[in-house]
Copies of this chain bind each other. A is one copy, B any other.
Amino acid sequence: MEINGVPIENTYAEAFPTWISRIIITAVTEEWALRAATEATGFATSAIGCPCEAGIEGILGPEETPDGRPGASILICASKKKLKEQVVERLAECVLTSPTTAVFDGLPEAAEKIAVKLHFFGDGYEYQKEVGGRKCWVIPIMEGEYVGEEEFGIIKGVAGGNFFVMGENQMAALMGAQAASETIQSVCGVITSFPGGIVASGSKVGSNKYKFMPASTNEKYCPTLREKVPDTKVPAGVTALYEIVIDGLDEECVKEAMAQGIRAACTVPGVTFISAGNFGGNLGPYKFELYSIL
């Protein structure tokens, strides 16, 4: 299979379940909503070493938010136990503190809920109020009043959807990955949690040499080791590759993001191969076959 002359490997991405909370942050302008959303989703690239995975799902117009203000939707992904703690801390420290923000549940239909009781910050001065049909707490603060919901739906979603963008040199592969990542930003229901949506240093589980390492470089995908690693997966002529990792609310939106991202990468000159990462299918319950999604 080829797209725009770029060969697509007949393989699949292997992905895993994760618990996800979707939070709508509104503010006086889109700009301020994005500032809060960026801080709240920082230090959240990979569950390996970060307390969660998080990212901005999309920008919301005033017509799409409970309080009729511009907003951003973020996804926070973690194990069920860690998820609550992370939502609490990130909303308390990065959104409640941010100018003009309000917060609403982005998964109001979800059967399971977590409670995020920020209103104790009000020290007794807080009170309840309905905004756009949502039960909110109002907390007096320095800028005036903070408004926010405190129950957030959580669902079991998908983490680790992925594909590789390979190129004849590093800049071609990087621009291919950027085109992919930018395109995925417009797909509903997904995030790419790494900086700029791109992973430069994908890993394997564990380490052959250093037993204390939970993860280490995936030497089969290292172009500079191509001649040294017998079972290298780096095709001839590829000198750089990037991984796009996608977390999403369900399989459908991860598939859509993979398909759109791959197609975008294949329009970039110097991108020469597309593949995806898996662990032989033994670890993750989800398999996204590139040939069936494209």
Say yes or no: A169 contacts B172, CB within 8 Å. yes
- Please report the C-alpha to C-alpha distance between residue A216 and residue B164 in the assembled complex, in whole angstroms: 40
Instruction: List A residues 139-170 near B (Cβ within 8 Å).
Output: 139-146, 164, 167-170
Say yes or no: B174 contacts A100, CB within 8 Å. yes
Q: A238: shortest Cβ distance to chain B, in Å? A: 10
A97 lies within 8 A of chain B by Cβ? yes
Say yes or no: A267 contacts B69, CB within 8 Å. yes
User: Nearest 9 pairs between A and B by C-beta?
Assistant: A42-B42, A141-B201, A98-B195, A124-B209, A123-B216, A143-B200, A49-B93, A39-B195, A140-B222
Contact partners of A178 in chain B: CB under 8 A: 29, 31
Contact partners of A145 in chain B: CB under 8 A: 224
Say yes or no: A201 contacts B146, CB within 8 Å. yes
- Please report the C-alpha to C-alpha distance between residue A83 and residue B223 in the assembled complex, in whole angstroms: 34
Say yes or no: B43 contacts A44, CB within 8 Å. yes
Q: A222: shortest Cβ distance to chain B, in Å? A: 4
A50 lies within 8 A of chain B by Cβ? yes
* Chain B residue with the shortest CB-CB distance to A182: B30
Say yes or no: A48 contacts B93, CB within 8 Å. yes
Q: A188: shortest Cβ distance to chain B, in Å? A: 12
Say yes or no: A196 contacts B94, CB within 8 Å. no
Q: A228: shortest Cβ distance to chain B, in Å? A: 8
A73 lies within 8 A of chain B by Cβ? no
A179 lies within 8 A of chain B by Cβ? yes
A269 lies within 8 A of chain B by Cβ? yes
Tell me which of A7-15, A16-24, A240-248, A281-289 binds B: A240-248
